[in-house]
Structure 1
Amino acid sequence: MQKKISTENIKELRSKTGAGMTDCKKALEASGGQIDVAIENLRKKGLAFADKKASRITTEGLIETYVHSGSRLGVIIELNCETDFVARQATFQQLAKDIAMQIAACQNVQYVSIDQIPKDVKEYEQNIELQREDISGKPSDIQKKIASGRLEKRYKELSLMDQNFIKKSEITVEELIKRHIALLGENIQVRRFERFILGEGLKSKNNNFVQEVSSMIGSE
């Protein structure tokens, strides 16, 4: 039987490592509640102390682009770090390339994180969910509970940080960045990005760009 992890255990691990609450919970569950083992595992994954660096100012970095084969889909991204020294590192530059490719492969992604989704967009999505026919006949509290679960899923679809990394699906883009923060010793932030699709907004045949990018990645 798996040992129940208490909120106090999670807070203790977070205070010792600076890792996120979710990462701490997962680490404790995997270690059977052993704090020392959980700390070691977080360090191996590069998650320990990454959150503590998240408040540091990032004024350096680079602009990276990705253009899919056939030049019909392109992405431009600004990835920031703290120093020009790190910005010149091949590891940081490869991270920028990987994230740009990630954005190209995820058509639903519109924002860097859930926190950046505008209030009016969230209200719009909430109204849609609450008006769905399959929950209209249910009690109000049940409707809100079902809608809340669906909204959480929808917000994650819109958020880059919540996507599973296309080259290593067991981690998210947020976890990928945290590992690089631990590796390079600096705060790293995706500031902004833009996706360009040839002929977007014009009447044209539908091309499955996600499938194209995924196929190309798989053949590398």
Structure 2
Amino acid sequence: MPVSTAEIQELRKKTGAGMMDSKKALVEAKGDLEKAVVILREKGLADLSKRAGREAKEGVVDAYIHANGKIGVLVEVNSETDFVAKNDKFKEFAHDLALHIAAADPKYVSIEDVPEDETKKEKELYKKQAKTEGKPENIVDKIAEGKLAKYYEQIVLLEQPFVKNPDQKIKDYLGSIAGSLGENIKISRFVRMQLGLGQE
């Protein structure tokens, strides 16, 4: 019995199982979604905790060289399956990231990647500035947190407004892509090189 792509996607969404396993289960269950879930669970292929704990091991490395050849970017974006890694929407996302990194020059992927001492140093600086400006003691921490969030927007990729759509942060773009593709998507790492930087 033939099964539709929509039915396969629905089963994958429900169970977290792979594409081919979902198709086989639906064929075996003669298109009955609930029976297919039971079949996958019996075979141990249904991960009912779904995407959250699943590792993103597939993916792409996208490269972008700016037209004048003075800036180059490599970015690694991972997905759970090669099926998604080959998807045009996924590839476009990876390329958009490379373009964004070339333009926005982030230093880290996520806030967790920022060294603790750097965060501490910046926060202390902002507190000191607020006190010097005569701000009331009870709001100094709040001011420092606000300035720290702005600092993260400059140096952390996921916190930056997307250059093609400044109303959307990169983390929101990532979330929308992951949601539409139905998989855990992860930006693993990137490198940005600029001609002449670091040379005396």
TM-score for both structures, normalised by structure 1: 0.62
CA drift of 1:150 comes to 1.0
Counterpart check, 1:135 vs 2:131: yes
Match of 1:125 among 97, 105, 122: 122
Tell me the residue number matched to 1:74: 72
CA drift of 1:139 comes to 4.5
Measured in 2, the distance between the counterparts of 1:147 and 1:182 equals 33
Q: 1:54 to 1:99 in 2, by over 3 A?
A: farther
Task: Give the structure, 1 or 2, with the largest relative contact order (CA under 8 Å, sep 6 or more).
Answer: 1
Counterpart check, 1:156 vs 2:187: no
Tell me the residue number matched to 1:111: 108
Contact 2:152 2:160 in 1 (8 A): no
Deviations 1:39-78 (A, max 9, x none): xxxxxxxxxxxxx734321011011111101110111111
Contact 2:131 2:137 in 1 (8 A): no
Q: 1:59 to 1:138 in 2, by over 3 A?
A: same
Measured in 2, the distance between the counterparts of 1:62 and 1:195 equals 16
Contact 1:102 1:165 in 2 (8 A): yes
Contact 2:58 2:82 in 1 (8 A): yes
TM-score for both structures, normalised by structure 2: 0.68
Q: For 1:35-46, list aligned pairs within 5 A.
A: none
Measured in 2, the distance between the counterparts of 1:117 and 1:192 equals 13
Measured in 2, the distance between the counterparts of 1:190 and 1:106 equals 16
Tell me the residue number matched to 2:179: 182
Tell me the residue number matched to 2:94: 96
SS in 2 for 1:131: helix
SS in 1 for 2:191: strand
CA drift of 1:116 comes to 2.1
CA drift of 1:138 comes to 4.1
Measured in 2, the distance between the counterparts of 1:165 and 1:147 equals 24
SS in 1 for 2:167: strand
Measured in 1, the distance between the counterparts of 2:97 and 2:52 equals 18
Instruction: Point out where structure 2 has 5 or more consecutive residues left out of the alignment.
Output: 1-49
Instruction: Point out where structure 1 has 5 or more consecutive residues left out of the alignment.
Output: 1-51, 204-220
Q: Which amino acid aligns with 1:115?
A: E
Tell me the residue number matched to 2:194: 197
Q: 1:174 to 1:84 in 2, by over 3 A?
A: same
SS in 2 for 1:120: helix
Q: Which amino acid aligns with 2:179?
A: A
Tell me the residue number matched to 2:53: 55
Deviations 1:121-173 (A, max 9, x none): 101211222232x5324443333232222112112322211222222232221
**How big is the alpha-carbon RMSD for the aligned residues of Structure 1 and Structure 2?**
1.8
Contact 1:54 1:188 in 2 (8 A): no
Q: Which amino acid aligns with 1:121?
A: E
Measured in 1, the distance between the counterparts of 2:65 and 2:159 equals 23
